[in-house]
Structure 1
Amino acid sequence: MMDSKKERLIQKYNSPVPRYTSYPTVPFWENQLDLDSWEELVKKAFHMYGEEEGITLYIHFPFCESLCTYCGCNKYITKNHSIETPYIKAVKKEWKSYLTRFGSKPLLKGIHLGGGTPTFFSPESLHSLLNEIISDCYVDGNREFSFEGHPNNTTEEHLATLHSLGFDRVSFGIQDFDLKVQQAIHRVQPFETVVQITEAARRIGYTSINFDLIYGLPHQNKETLSQTFGKVMDLKPERIAFYSYAHLPSLFKAQKSFEQFLPNENDKRALYELGKDILTKSGYEEVGMDHFALPEDPLCKAKSEGSLHRNFMGYTTSPSKLMIGLGATSISDIHLGFAQNEKGHKEYIRKINEGSDYLVRSHENSASDLIAKEFILDLICHQEARIDSEIWNRLPELNRRKLAEMQEEELISIKDQIIKVSDFGMTFIRNICFQFDLKMLEAPQAKSTFSKSI
């Protein structure tokens, strides 16, 4: 049961704000670079950071055989697997263009396969792509190779093939185990199926398994969520991502189908409090926004050592400033700037094969952007940050007053230009970061682009 103070603050702060997987956030990328300019920026960043720190790769696989109606990811629904070959060829070609810009063999710190559904692709297709990429690199001894697997179509062959290439982390999209909820979001996957694939992953040698769970889904209540967590605890994955459902039916029309069955704001937050309480009592530690892990997990160790990092893929232990996105709709974060690939897979393949510009948006960070980016990352990863005068001097008086209110509410403390976020305040971390979002402050009408914070 939430106390009255938390309930009041939830009502106060439950407004649309970014998730801050990047800064500036995507709607505020403001200087479109052509492909040549982007690749020159990549070359500069590689020589500044990548040669020493290494690189990480995110590869997007946008295909799914059926539509999960809650999903806000970029995806294309098809059962036609003939698309695998031309898509893999295009991703390989994109990768080779980056290799050319690097000018030397890169140190590979990590790979993450996301989607869509990466396991839509056959083990043979994935091996063809990844074996070539890995062969082009030096592989760091502490590399993190992970992939997102749909429990219904991830096979033991998928697991074995990827493990042979160095993958030892897998994230299964569970969302909820209640059948009524699963039917509403069009993602029915029996608990027995999850048990089988989880046990297979551990048997093959995967040392870290993550479950994605979502609160705020249609028909969810405390009883059903408790039952879901009971089953999750039977399997005890090393990591759990416990996300707020983002309801944006204007962008994702399928979400309209269950709108009338969504919990209200207070009930939704009560679901989170219930899940967090179960996780804490079950031995999990809160790593950061939405993420929990067992104490011996590297994420917890990185947090305690102050080396935790966050990017578009979530929290990571890798310090690399260069994350290269490959595939349709992928986003690259090279510290000096960002770029997003063509969203449609057909256009992406055509443009890659033609050698034409396949970027749909990009942004080169200014000195001010970099200061704000580091500041917000420190808040999200370490719960404290030094307020640079560049940021403080540009804050409107209204935002300074709001920060003073947050101090009175014990969400934060500010002393000697150091801001610290309390454990209680982490519930409102997106709202706290928002007070320092200089880009958003200049264009508040863009708030409708984002989901509510609670």
Structure 2
Amino acid sequence: MSAVTPELLRRYDVPGPRYTSYPTADRFVEAFGAADYIQALEQRRQGLAAPMPLSLYVHIPFCESLCYYCACNKIITKHHERGAEYLRYLSREVDLHTSHVGLGQVVSQLHLGGGSPTFLSDDELRELMGMLRRSFTLAPGGEYSIEIDPRTVDEQRLHTLAELGFNRLSFGVQDFDPAVQKAVHRTQPAEQVFALMEAARRIGFESVNVDLIYGLPQQTPESFDRTLAQVAELRPDRIALYAYAHLPERFKPQRRIIAAELPNAASKIAMLSRALDAFGDAGYVYIGMDHFALPNDALAVAKRQGRLHRNFQGYSTQPDCDLIALGVSAIGRVGATYSQNAKTLEEYYDLLDHGQLPVVRGLAVSRDDLIRRAVIMALMCQGVVQFESIELGFLIDFKSYFANELEALKNMAEEGMVVLADRSIEVTEQGWFFVRAIAMVFDKYLQADRTRAKFSKII
């Protein structure tokens, strides 16, 4: 980290996208609506394009208590009866999808996110999985994951999740330090997480992920070291380490966080650096940007074999998938389109009451978008762009097409962020700390308007 100077931090610690998609969701437009989405679904059904593998995402928005850092679309309530009503509307949305894409589509990846999916009762989760299995075919050996709030589950609930077909869990931990937990209104003893991990091992889940966040109030590099040591002892199969994005003007709950208690950029980069060292020493493979995995985990295997991908949930082993997204605010991708559902329950319910898919905005992706997406995802996933693969895939001359971008990368090359070879671009070890900034060079929309305040800072 000696090469990461304060000057580099000042220059590159700027707002920028996480590139779980390109173009990014802020580019979606209301001119793209349900009719456009239906057309994409029908094209998939008719096989007008080679059918891509299919993933499902289901958004469960409810949480019992508010975590101050959270930027997810969620509804804080202790009224669990709201879950039953939500499932009724999800069922309508599923039926509308199958009317356009057909029954029995094979699904190789399913993710339940939120909110807190475990807000739903065991019977409601059974109802949800039954609904999905009646409408889609869940492929044997697929990846079926659910986000877990450790405060809402016990060993018996984990057994239920396994019986329902889930083979991957993601525990929201964020930080084990009691002062940090208090500052973000999420108190959960480390002992509780350790007990759940032991239970998950006994039950036989294929992979368990732990989410951590650095940059939270009251965190210091030293306090985060203790959390890193505990996580290394916990030894999950995967670790997702996210930088906290403090955007109180966009996310009202974050206004409860005391800005003066947030660590500065130098402390955040120290936390990231120490995390890389700690997890490397513990035997984890650095997948990229915010993901780590044990060497035998499917994510690490995909990294070694050059099969890593990136989607709305982060890094993934699945190839480019069509993603059907269900639930309020959920974002999907079908063919060369992105789509997003209504962000409020009222609008989501109203559209379904009128027999309409609840898509309210989206985007039809252009050829230029596809080319740039391929470059950005190669940088984010493999850390290298081979010009030949882009040229053969899109019939362009890379150096001519991206002449301005290659010129812009020269400064980054001089600063040790990338290696510019005659036929490739490669991210350096130092460059991984700023890989979002490197990808931003190829973002046509971002370079055009420079309006970045809506994004989190990249460090």
> Shorter-chain TM-score: which interval?
over 0.9
Alpha-carbon distance change, 254 to 209 in structure 1, aligned in 2, over 3 angstroms = same
Provide the residue aligned with 1:373 in structure 2. Answer: 373
1:244-271 deviation per Cα after TM superposition (whole angstroms, max 9, x unaligned): 1111011113323321100111111111
Match of residue 205 from structure 1: 204
In 2, Cα distance between equivalents of 1:98 and 1:357: 8
Equivalent residue for 1:26? Answer: 25
Q: Match for residue 449 of structure 2? A: 443
1:160-171 pair list within 5 angstroms:
160-171=159-170
RMSD over aligned Cα atoms: 2.0
1:284 corresponds to 2:284: yes
Instruction: Determine the C-alpha separation between the residues in 1 that align with 2:361 and 2:137.
Output: 30
Q: Give SS of 1:286's match.
A: strand
- Tell me the alpha carbon deviations over residues 39-92 of structure 1, each in whole angstroms, 9 at most, x when there is no partner: 111222455599754311010011111110011111111101111111011111
The 1-side partners of 2:398 and 2:455 are apart by 23
Q: Distance in 2 between matches of 1:64 and 1:433?
A: 34
Provide the C-alpha distance between the structure 1 equivalents of 2:164 and 2:14, rounded to a whole number of angstroms. 43
State the one-letter code of the partner of 2:453: S
For 1:7-86, what aligned pairs fall within 5 Å after superposition? 7-30=6-29, 32-45=31-44, 47-48=46-47, 53-86=52-85
Identify the residue that residue 98 of structure 1 maps to in structure 2: 97
Greater Cα offset, 81-90 or 227-236: 227-236
Residue 296 of structure 2: aligned partner = 296
* Gap regions ≥5 residues in structure 2: 391-395
CA contact (8 A) 1:74 1:115 kept: yes
Partner of 1:360: 360
Q: CA deviation at 1:234?
A: 1.9
Q: Which of 421, 429, 432 does residue 426 from structure 1 map onto? A: 432
The amino acid across from 2:316 in the alignment is: T
Q: Which amino acid in the other structure matches residue 323 of structure 2? A: M
* Residue type of the alignment partner of 1:143: G
Contact 1:247 1:255 in 2 (8 A): yes
Deviates most, 302-311 or 194-203:
194-203
2: CA distance, partners of 1:392 / 1:21: 25
Deviation at 1:281, TM superposition (A): 0.4
Equivalences for 1:23-422 in 2 at 5 Å? 23-30=22-29, 32-45=31-44, 47-48=46-47, 53-256=52-255, 257-356=257-356, 358-387=358-387, 389=396, 393=400, 397=404, 399-422=405-428
| 2:70 match: secondary structure | coil
Distance 1:48-1:413 versus aligned 2 partners, 3 A rule: farther
Greater shift in the superposed pair: 130-139 or 241-250 = 130-139
In structure 2, distance between residues paired with 1:385 and 1:4: 24
Alignment check: 8 A CA contact 2:103 2:135 kept: no
Preserved CA contact (<8 Å) 2:33 2:361: no
Verify the 8 A CA contact 2:103 2:136 in the aligned structure 1. no
Q: Distance in 2 between matches of 1:147 and 1:48?
A: 31
Distance 2:223 2:106 in 1: 46
Identity %: 38
Q: Quote the offset at 1:93 in angstroms.
A: 1.3
CA distance in 2, matches of 1:31, 1:76: 24
The alignment of Structure 1 onto Structure 2 pairs a total of residues equal to 451
**AA in 1 matched with 2:322:** L
Q: In the aligned structure 1, how far is the partner of 2:156 from the partner of 2:352? A: 30
Deviation string, structure 1 residues 179-198 (Cα, Å, up to 9, x no partner): 11000000000011112222
Q: Residues of 2 paired with 1:52 and 1:77: CA distance? A: 38
Task: Provide runs of 4+ in structure 1 moved above 6 Å.
Answer: none
Partners in 2 of 1:314 and 1:426 — Cα distance? 16
Aligned to 2:458: 453
Equivalent-residue separation in structure 2 for 1:95 and 1:353 (angstroms): 13
Any idea what SS the aligned residue of 1:211 has? strand
CA displacement at 1:115 relative to structure 2: 0.5
CA offset at residue 16 of structure 1?
A: 0.6
